[in-house]
Structures are given as C-alpha cells and as structure tokens.
Chains A and B, each alone.
Chain A
C-alpha cells in the first residue's frame, strides 16, 4: 500500500488509534473493546466514539481489575471473538502478568492447537510528565522475552492507525504499546480505511552513512533532532524506526549496520536489560566483522521514574544525551 497520493488528515495519535478501532469494528462484528473507562471514550480518548456507535454490548467498561481484563480477553479470543482491551497504563499490566504472558502468549502452544487467535492488548508505555514511577514504565521488553506475542510500538499517528488495523487483522495476540507521551501528537494520517502498516517492518526515517541509530516510540523524534544537529557537522546518522519489536526487522537493521559500520540503540526503557541489550547483542553476533566500534545503547537511567516531572526528565534520554552518545560512537 503506497503512501503516495493518499488523502491525509492531521489528527492526534490516540485519535488515530480510535479511528482504526471504529473502522475495523464496522467491518468485523467479532471485535469488541473493554477496559476501565472505555465506554466513556477512554481516559485518553483512545476509544472516543466507540460506545456511541457500537453500544455497551461491544464497548464495555470494566471495574478496576487488570487481571480480569486481560484474562477475559484471552478466554474470549480462544472462544473465537476478537477482543481489544485497554490496560490503562502499561505499569498496571504487570498485575495481569499471568494472563498476558502465560495465557495469551502460551495457550495455543501448550495445547498444541493451531487456530487464529486475535486479541489486542493496548499496553501504553512511557513517561507523561509527572505521572510517577508506577504510571510511566516501559516494559515492552517482556513481550520480547515471552514468545507467543507480537509486539508493536507506533511512533507516529499514522503508524498508530496502521498498526492498530494490522493488529486487529492479525491471527495472533498483539501487545500494542501505545506511547503515552505521544497521545496528543498530531501527524498526517491517511484517511483510507484500508491503510495498514504491516507488523514486522521497520522503516528508515532518515538516511545516512556515518552510523545507524535504532530506535522506536518516544525516542524517534529525539533521535531525528540529534541527527539534524549532527548533520550540520558532517555526521550523517541513519535513523531506523523499528515500529515492531516482535518480530523484529533484523534484515533492515543489519543491512544498515553493514553499510555504516557503527550502531547505537536508543529507547526510553531503562538501559539495563532493555530491548537495546538484545538488539546490541544480536548485531554484534551477526555483524561483528562489519563493525568499526562497539554497539552503544542509550536508555533511561536504571531507576524508578521520580514523580516530579523535572526529576523525571533527568532520568530520560535527552536529545543532548543522544547527540553526545552519537559523537562518542563516532570517536571509537
């Protein structure tokens, strides 16, 4: 599906998600949505307009019950429906650890049963500016570590819509990590009700030959800023937006690294044992003899995020930090 010539609208990221939900619910009545507050449009307007069009039968408010929310989705999916659950804040999703990482991820495998199982877990991640240590976490690494789930992280409004559509048509459970800080970020979103972004495809957002910057989600914009600043000094960074973490688009990443010979991963998740650790390890395993320098990683400090937004900012990777690390990469 080519982007050229598509009519676009400028809407926010969460609005783009709800647009995809509405369009898909129209064409497939097996899709229903549940979560805390979804029937009133959702806490952050991700489900705006759904209840009005589809009623309380397909848009259900739940009580405060994250384990139940995710478990009922697993049960309904196994029974042939296509449920969508908004977990509210990704940090709460840990309450539903068994339901997401054992039941949804492993059910078919454990039972040796091959059937299409569609379930979308909207699992918002990231800091929002003062939401605190239990509302701001990035735990997308868990989906990488529990096989059986697909994991996506849109960084733009267009991708939020395109990936939501893809998730709703995917015959496997998907962890849809919407980025909390991008909820209101506007972008050009194709109007086409068939606009889809395939799961498992990264995109090169900026081309360059000096080094490959691999990123996703909230850090994409900061990496692009850093790349713009460094381009003035003749350092041309190539910035790859992964968009999907499982399955990760290794061919795109490795092809880029083999061309630039230098790589760094940037994400909002904590540095230690974050997704960057797996990506860096895999790059050096597969492209060691193409590397001029070690693969670097930028992530949040290994700390719970402080409540106060000014302190929170100190813990998260800044454009200046990304720039400095890119310079360091070039100096090695």
Chain B
C-alpha cells in the first residue's frame, strides 16, 4: 500500500482526545502543503490540521463527529497528481487485502486476541441502533461517552445519556417538579474544570493589587499611533505597552517566570507570554514566544494575530503550549474592577488587567496641597503561588511594573 498513505491525527503536546469536527477537503480533492484538511476539537481548543505535503485526499475514514485518539487514522492520502482511476484501484486493493484478512478469521487457527482492543475496526463508528436511538431521544452524539469496544458508542450509552438528560437532577429528591434544563458538560468544559481545580488545590494562591497611572503610556501611545496612522497602520493597544513592561519586569524578576516543584524551582530563561483570549467556546491562551525581545508594535501585532487565529480556530498546537507567564485582560470585556485569576499550571504567577477607568485620584501639588484629578488608572492583580513566592516579592514585582509604566516616556 505504498501508493496510499495513512492520514493520522498528529500529536500535539499533551493532547490525547480529538473529535473530528469537520472535513475541509472533499474526498478525491487535491490539496497543497499547509492547507487545512480537517478540524478537530481537543481538550484545549478547536484547531485545524494542515497537510504536510501536497497530495490528494483518497478517502475519508472518520466522519464528522467521530471521537478519535491522537495518532489514529482518519483517512487515506494519495500522492499529488494521482489520477482518480489510480486512487480507485489502490483503494480496491486496500479493501481486498483487509477483506482477506477478515476471511482468514474463518480458518481453524487459534482465536484472535482480546476483542476489546479492536481499534480502527470499531472505534468511532455509529451503529444503526445508535443512530436511531439518538434521533428518537434527541441525544447529541458529540456529548456521549462510548463504553463499547474501542470506545464506540453503544445503544446503552445513548439511552443512558438520554435518561440523564431527561432526569431533573441526579437522584436529588424534590427536584422532580422544578423546571430546570440540565445540560451535559462537553469534554472541553470538563477538561477546563479539571485543570482549574487542580490548580487551586495544588498551589497556594494569593493575589496582590496595585494602582497604576497610565497617563504616560497614553501620551506615548498617542504619539506612536499618530505616526502609525500616517503610515496607514492600525493603532496599537494599551495592552501591548503593559505586556512589554511586564516582560521587562519578568526579566528582572525571573522568580515569577518559573515553575515550582517539591524539590526545585525552574527559572525559565526565556519569556513565553501567554495572552488570554476570550472565544465563543471559552478561554484560549495562545503564546507569544520570546515576548521579551519584542517591541511594543511587535507585541501588539502578535497579540492581534493570535487573538484572530484563536477566534478562527486556526491555532497550531505549539502556539498553545509552553507559556511561562500569563497575561489576562478581562477589563477588555467590561468595567470589571478586579482581575484576580486562577493560575495556569505549571506557571507560578499571572497578571490580570481589569478595566482601565478614568478615576479620581488625589495628587499632591507643588505647595503640598492636595487636589483631586481624574486620571486613567488600572489596578492590575498579580495572582501568585505562595509556595514559590512571598508577598514581599509580589509587591516588589508590582512596584517595578508601576514604575516602568508610569515612566513610559521615551519607550518605544
């Protein structure tokens, strides 16, 4: 079968489960290297899988909605330029050889080993019974866990899902007459829940806040954006300035760019900044690698690019892994006053930006008189793992950040 090659779900860091959401190339269609072939949903995100070389999609084996494990085959590819006849012949030979293998099972040789290790023969296929029951009970098969051979969904699985969807509450008396809609949790939600609980349980979370006046940043930004506008470029965001300052502080305080274990603390020498992006399916944290080497405009471009690709489900796996510190920006969603967060293990700290507000601030005048002026203020929250870091360190971190941002003048 060297004419046809297997199309297998690529490994992607720690991802194990992948559900094939949609095919992006038709059976029989040619594709180029780098072209997206299909889309999968993993624990972390929705992502497109691209072709590594030019070719022709000879056969789709997995259907939209099929659950697979990373590394499993979803289809067959033919070399670029392969003719339809050549592909048809190769597929026929492929089917014949697997039929022969099936026929050989009738020979009086010792029985095949465990039926449970069925793999491609059964996994992911929806039997007629399952399809009927899902239709009758209006069960979304994407949300059903399969307990059949190779993880296949069985009729019982569907009925169980239907029953639990129909139940008012799991064996809690008194809720039978309460109008409630019970929504089964998707695998993504479960994965997020698991991770967050782990994080909270396994780290000693504490958060310190500080007030930062962004007046200098605004001034610097105005100048830069005027120049950019004359060049026909979009304005950079305030976030980019904060991110740049943040990276400088991380360089000065590598304790915050680290991973804590029982025996060691790993002080990462590179700064890979995860920037949280809110997407319809949930929070996604793409990573800007070596963010400390980037200027404001470059950081801004990187953040915009990643955010767009995140919303378009086009992030590659290496863009989702390896962050050493996370910057979250809930203030962009609304006038939230505090941005305390849960850490992303194995990071030891996270900076959250609440809303940037025009706030009345007491300012000391030259003669010592105090007046109230309205200033652009943000109160970032530094959430940190107290196992690795002390309160004094956290305060010091914020003080450094404040100083850098309030002195913005001249920073490029």
Contacts and interface: CB of A to CB of B under 8 A. Distances in A.
Direct contact of A and B (CB under 8 A): yes
A115 interface: no
B118 A261 contact: no
A321 interface: yes
B111 A327 contact: yes
A134 interface: no
A164 B217 CA distance: 103
Interface in B122-164: 122, 127-132, 148-150, 154-155
A331 B121 contact: yes
Interface residues of A, number: 22
Q: With a 10 A CB-CB cut-off, give which of A323, A324, A330 has the most chain B CB atoms.
A: A324
Contacts of B149: 330-332
A290 B159 CA distance: 13
B169 to A, nearest CB: 30
B127 A314 contact: no
B110 A289 contact: no
B115 interface: yes
Nearest to A331: B115
Interface string A280-314: 00000000111111000010010000000000001
Given A331-B118, A331-B149, A332-B121, A292 B154 contact: yes
Nearest to B106: A321
A292 B108 contact: no
A328 interface: yes
A328 B106 CA distance: 11
Given A330-B115, A331-B149, A332-B122, A324 B105 contact: yes
B110 A328 contact: no
Contact of B129 (A289, A325, A330): A289
Contacts of A290: 128-129, 132
A318 interface: yes
A263 B264 CA distance: 59
B118 A323 contact: no
Contact of B106 (A261, A298, A327): A298
A331 B116 contact: yes
A328 B149 CA distance: 10
Contacts of A298: 106
A8 interface: no
B127 A301 contact: no
Contacts of B122: 331-332
Given A331-B116, A331-B122, A291 B111 contact: no
A298 B103 CA distance: 11
B112 interface: yes
Given A292-B154, A321-B106, A327 B112 contact: yes
A321 B104 CA distance: 11
Contacts of A331: 115-116, 118, 121-122, 149-150
A323 B111 contact: yes
A261 B155 contact: yes
Contacts of B118: 331-332
Contacts of B108: 314, 318, 320-321
Contacts, number: 56
Nearest to A300: B106
Interface residues of B, number: 22
A289 B115 contact: no
Given A261-B155, A331-B122, A332-B118, A292 B148 contact: yes
> Secondary structure of the A side of the interface?
helix
B105 A325 contact: yes
Interface in A186-231: none
Interface string A121-157: 0000000000000000000000000000000000000
A325 B103 CA distance: 11
Given A261-B155, A292-B148, A328 B129 contact: no
Contacts of B154: 292
B148 A328 contact: no
B250 to A, nearest CB: 53
A331 B110 CA distance: 17
Interface in B86-132: 105-106, 108, 110-112, 115-116, 118, 121-122, 127-132
Contacts of B150: 331
Given A261-B129, A301-B106, A332-B149, A292 B116 contact: no
Contacts of B105: 324-325, 328
B111 to A, nearest CB: 4
A79 to B, nearest CB: 48
A89 to B, nearest CB: 26
A217 B295 CA distance: 85
Contacts of B128: 288-291
A332 B102 CA distance: 12
Contact of B115 (A291, A292, A301, A328): A328
A323 B108 CA distance: 11
A291 B131 CA distance: 10
B99 to A, nearest CB: 13
A228 to B, nearest CB: 15
Contacts of A289: 128-129, 131-132
A292 B121 CA distance: 13
A293 B121 contact: no
A292 B155 contact: yes
Nearest to B118: A331
Nearest to A301: B106
Given A288-B128, A327-B115, 20 more contacts: A271-B106, A289-B128, A289-B129, A289-B132, A290-B132, A291-B129, A292-B130, A292-B154, A293-B127, A298-B106, A301-B106, A320-B108, A323-B111, A324-B105, A324-B111, A325-B106, A327-B111, A328-B105, A331-B149, A331-B150
Interface of A: 261, 271, 288-293, 298, 301, 314, 318, 320-321, 323-325, 327-328, 330-332
In the A-B complex, the 4 residue pairs with the closest CB atoms: A331-B115, A324-B111, A289-B132, A331-B118
29 contacts: A261-B129, A288-B128, A289-B129, A289-B131, A291-B127, A291-B128, A292-B127, A292-B129, A292-B148, A292-B155, A293-B127, A298-B106, A314-B108, A318-B108, A320-B108, A320-B110, A321-B108, A324-B105, A324-B111, A324-B112, A325-B105, A331-B115, A331-B121, A331-B122, A331-B149, A331-B150, A332-B118, A332-B121, A332-B122
